[in-house]
Amino acid sequence: MTVESTAARSTARRSGTGGKRATQAAAENGKPAGTGTAEAPEGAAAPGGTSRPKAEGKSRGTAAKTPAKSTRKPAAKSTAKAAPKAPAKSTGKSAAKTAAKSPAKTGTRTTDAKAPAKTRTRTTDAKNPAKAGTRAGSRARGNGSAQPDPELVQLLTPEGERVSHPDYDVDLSAEEIQGLYRDMVLTRRFDAEATALQRQGELGLWASLLGQEAAQIGSGRALREDDYVFPTYREHGVAWCRDVDPTMLLGMFRGVNNGGWDPNSNNFHLYTIVIGSQVLHATGYAMGVAKDGADSAVIAYFGDGASSQGDVAEAFTFSAVYNAPVVFFCQNNQWAISEPTERQSRVPIYQRAQGYGFPGVRVDGNDVLACLAVTKAAVERARAGEGPMLIEAFTYRMGAHTTSDDPTRYRSDEERTAWEAKDPIQRLRSYLEGAKLADDAFFARIDEESEAMGQHVREAIRTMPDPDTMAIFENVYADGHALVDEERAQFAEYQASFATEAGSGAAAGEGK
């Protein structure tokens, strides 16, 4: 049995295809995006190989002739036929028959269909061409190299070179691009100051967004004022785009409020600590928007870890059935605390949308222009009554999950170094400099504004009141509860003991 190290596992990332092309192709065949036999071979063929295009061609032909039957038995047949045509020749007819007769077994992490219990391993194998091709391609893209990923929507390379995409693009002025750079720099500065304040004991906890600025600013700036946002607890950049005072975000983490802003004043819901629940809230709100006849859109943010929650699956189901105008924006930062994405999903997260009947697309989450373009297209689609869409922003959490986490215990320094080469802020700066869209004076002004932002945050947090230590016992039960009363009394006695000890120490000092 071969077991890879944590560092090796963490570099094995999955990839796939999707976006408008997949949606349009499905629509041409007279069926909703993500359904029918045309989608079945995607899981069986290695990305970039020759087997998927052939399988898709056969499946689509079948769907055109017999649309009523294409969504059931033919799907299994097309999957079985596609397997022998995969790049690795070692997968023979027996594997294809096994896939057709016992799909549950072929879906396990095994390298040998005959002895799955004994050969359970995380290593790639020529007998499993789909996984081998996917993980090999992911390793090539995750090592900091400039090799483009054809399955990733990208408008700026890691070196800051402007590229085009056939389905998504933006036409921005120099001032607008400068504004995106300013947004990201100030958001990072605020985030860094909040982290430092937590280390100094001013905050109880802080969830950093370091490395995810492009995903948040790009998507946040794609929204209209009347669109509604449902965040998690890390969307500091989106809050900035919705004109929420950054210092208001600190109140909750200091324990002095339960969210310091009115959600309806900025169409930005309160931070949600419960993992994944806001995705259901967003879906319900979007269903209401549709019933009201409004043309606004709703966007729900969540992470790769939250994608494993049942609430997210239920939200996908309801949004698809009711054609809700909601965009699901998953920031896949590779780690759900210490759990890598490969332990969260057997396929790329955006491909899950296919099973629910709406399109999904993967975007370079460190490319602010691509995130802006894809999100803009998704919300416009929702406003037009075309239903939900899933966006997977493929990014990286360069810091800890929260300030209570130590990422060095479960991931390597090499992995972080590789992703630092794709830093979203440096990427946009390189583009601005290379295209001569900004000069040194501009960057100097942003640096000065950044320092002013840090000073403002420090002063604001130090003038905030200390949290009420007894408030945790309030509003637990409407009519009170004997156990809560007992716990309140015990905690009050514990707190009072510190004052007693401090007084005794002072008295002892005076007697010397």
pLDDT at 322 over 50: yes
Amino acid letter, 348: P
Distances (CA, A) of 205 to 212, 239, 252, 301, 466: 19, 18, 9, 20, 14
Pairing of strands 339-340, 335-336: antiparallel
Q: Which residue has the higher pLDDT, 216 or 22?
A: 216
> Tokens 């799907």, residue?
75
pLDDT in tens, 283-297: 999 999 999 999 999
Among 202, 150, 168, 219, which Cα is nearest to 372's?
Answer: 219
CA dist., res. 319 & res. 314, Å (int): 8
Contacts of 180 (CB under 8 A, 6+ apart): 172, 217, 218, 221, 368, 369, 372, 428
pLDDT at 57 over 80: no
Task: Please tell me the predicted confidence (pLDDT) of residue 33.
Answer: 40
CA dist., res. 370 & res. 362, Å (int): 10
Question: Can you name the residues that pair with 110 across neighbouring β-strands?
Answer: 120
Spacing of C-alpha 71 from chain mean position: 30
Most confidently predicted of 22-36, 77-91, 139-153, 251-265: 251-265
Distances (CA, A) of 322 to 290, 358, 492, 493: 9, 12, 51, 54
Task: Please tell me the predicted confidence (pLDDT) of residue 508.
Answer: 59
Mean pLDDT of the region 54-82: 37
Q: Using 50, 70 and 90 to split pLDDT, how confident is the model at 509?
A: low
Task: Please tell me the predicted confidence (pLDDT) of residue 431.
Answer: 98
Amino acid letter, 241: C
Question: Can you name the residues that pair with 288 across neighbouring β-strands?
Answer: none
Q: Is the pTM of this model over 0.85?
A: no
pLDDT in tens, 445-494: 999 999 999 999 999 999 998 888 888 898 889 988 999 999 999 999 99
Task: Please tell me the predicted confidence (pLDDT) of residue 499.
Answer: 82
Which two three-digit tokens encode residue 325? 């105008």
User: What percent of the chain shows pLDDT beyond 90?
Assistant: 62
Mean pLDDT of the region 370-399: 97
Beta strands in 194-332 (DSSP E): 228-230, 298-303, 326-332
pLDDT at 69 over 60: no
Distances (CA, A) of 494 to 305, 318, 470, 473, 486: 37, 48, 12, 15, 12
CA dist., res. 65 & res. 29, Å (int): 10
- Which residue numbers are catalytic? 397, 401, 410
Among 13, 73, 84, which Cα is nearest to 40's?
Answer: 73
CA dist., res. 267 & res. 231, Å (int): 11
Spacing of C-alpha 243 from chain mean position: 22
Distances (CA, A) of 101 to 44, 91, 106, 318, 346: 15, 16, 10, 32, 20
Task: Please tell me the predicted confidence (pLDDT) of residue 149.
Answer: 61
- DSSP helix/strand/coil, 307: helix
pLDDT at 42 over 80: no
